[in-house]
Amino acid sequence: MAGAGERKGKKDDNGIGTAIDFVLSNARLVLGVGGAAMLGIATLAVKRMYDRAISAPTSPTRLSQSGKRSWEEPSWLGSSSRLLNQDMKTNLSRSLQTLPTDSSAFEMDLVRSTKQKSSVKRSQVELKKSRLRMSLQEKLFAYYRRKVAIPVEEQARAKQAAVDICAELRGFLRAKLPDMPLREMYLSGSLYDDLQVVTADHIQLIVPLVLEKNLWSCIPGEDTIMNIPGFCLVRRENPEYFPRGSSYWDRCVVGGYLSPRSVADAFEKVVAGSINWPAIGSLLDYVIRPAAPLESLTLEVQYERDRHLLIDFLPSVTLGDTVLVAKPHRLAQYDNLWRLSLRPAETARLRALDQADSGCRSLCLKILKAICKLNPALGRLSASQLTNVILHLAQEETDWSQDVLADRFLQALRGLIGYLEVGILPSALNPKVNLFTELTPEEVDELGYTLYSSLSEPEVLLQV
């Protein structure tokens, strides 16, 4: 009987021990490391109490000679081991019933824990991006103050020098060539639009030609055999009724079309060859000389010891609503084409958008222009191309407050890379015009590679 009782106690002990081992082995999944440790300590205490209970003698407790229980025996050994054993089983069974036994419950807890970790990781990544964005924002403003912005005094001094030279040139042309049909000359360019960057070093002097409406017409470049949108031919009309010589500008006709190159050459003979610029310069306290041959007639003016200004002399014609300038195509075979003047309209739209919401479009454009001007690898990107990148982005994004300058700057870089990737940058005002048409495929690849390499760390562009 005693052997049977001992075997029965061991069987019960093994069953409870198995249950406890199961609880401990799965507690980490359910409760985590800390919870599992606490449950292990509590369970170990219960198991020790249970072991001592089942090993107690079944006979009534013997009293000591003084009538009291011995200190070596627990105070609860007087109760029946069978009842005690049953109570322990009941309590442990209730504890086990409170734990999830379905595997899906463990899976749900695991998924919930994974989602929480993923959410924490995502928030950490967003916080890191926010800090990087704020860091780039601060660097962009610092770069603008350090490299981009031109002091007001410098701008005023450059404008005054351009005005003085324009007045001298106007007076000379009227005296030397009184029969040349010209409208009033005027100064133009980014310096007058507050979009010039780094230094006040260039400006445009627009010289409008007067053309007879019945003798000249504009042929868009896309309607010619050359198929070049953004450029136009100026054709001489009605030669049978108005023979050659009826218009002053017939002397500049080549192959039936008014040649911008011939017009520029005619002005160059007068401006560079007939005017005594050293004498005028000494009178105005400037140093003036025609610049080395460029794509158009240019005067170089030193108006201070370390300040130089380039004045581009640009003949212009207006036919209806179309304004053209004698800035030839980069490729020599297209030198008979006049360039469509889109810059004034582009600048006016940009200014209107910024004035409507006090936006940072012009600020972002000036930073991009400075980067391209100071980085030789990006020097092929023109102000017109960068302006149209901003105008396209302005159609997609409505928030242009100062706080999102870094975001818009990065978007402009990505947009520019995308345009270079396909080799097409449509004009925001005339989508038929591809502003990359004068870039070679090699130049497009080089520009795209340079910008793409800096996209992961755009601060590099600000260190040039």
Per the prediction, the chain carries an average pLDDT of: 82
When comparing pLDDT for 62 and 102, which is higher? 102
Lowest-confidence segment of 66-70, 130-134, 375-379, 458-462 by average pLDDT? 66-70
Residue 91 pLDDT > 70? no
Considering only residues 223 and 32, tell me which one the structure prediction assigns the higher pLDDT.
223
Q: Is the pLDDT of residue 448 over 70?
A: yes
The pLDDT score that the predictor gives to residue 332 is 83
| Residue-level pLDDT at 357 | 94
Output the pTM of the full model.
Answer: 0.71
Confidence of residue 120 (pLDDT cuts 50, 70, 90): low
Average pLDDT over residues 309-316: 94
- Which tops the pLDDT comparison, 366 or 33? 366
Residue 10 pLDDT greater than 60, yes or no: no
pLDDT of the residue at 292: 73
Q: Is 90 exceeded by the pLDDT of residue 399? A: yes
State the pLDDT at residue 269. Answer: 87
- Residue 452: per-residue pLDDT: 95
Q: Which residue has the higher pLDDT, 96 or 233?
A: 233
Is the separation of the CB atoms in 428 and 393 below 8 Å?
no
> Does pLDDT of 80 surpass 50?
no
Between 173 and 102, the higher pLDDT residue: 173
Q: What is the pLDDT of residue 20?
A: 58
Q: Are 366 and 291 in contact (CB under 8 A)?
A: no
**Taking 80 as the threshold, does the pLDDT of residue 9 lie above it?**
no
**98: pLDDT strictly greater than 60:** no
Average pLDDT over residues 140-151: 96
Mean pLDDT of 395-406: 95
Q: Is 378 exposed, middle or buried (0-12, 13-18, 19+ CB in 10 A)?
A: buried
As a whole-number percent, the residues of the chain with pLDDT over 70 amount to 70
Q: What pLDDT is attached to residue 110?
A: 57
pLDDT tens readout for residues 187-232 = 999 999 999 999 999 999 999 999 999 999 999 999 999 999 999 9
Whether the predicted pLDDT of 12 surpasses 80:
no
The confidence score (pLDDT) of residue 68 equals: 40
Q: What is the pLDDT of residue 113?
A: 60
Asked if residue 288 has pLDDT above 50, the reply is yes
* Category of 194 on φ-ψ map: left (φ > 0), alpha (ψ -120 to 50) or beta: left
Task: List residues bridging with 188 in a β-sheet.
Answer: 204
Give the model's pLDDT for residue 48. 64
In the predicted structure, residue 117 carries a pLDDT above the cut 70: no
Quick one: what percent of the chain has pLDDT higher than 90? 61
**Do 40 and 27 touch, CB atoms closer than 8 A?**
yes
pLDDT at 4 over 70: no
Residues composing the chain = 464
- Residue 119 predicted with pLDDT over 50: yes
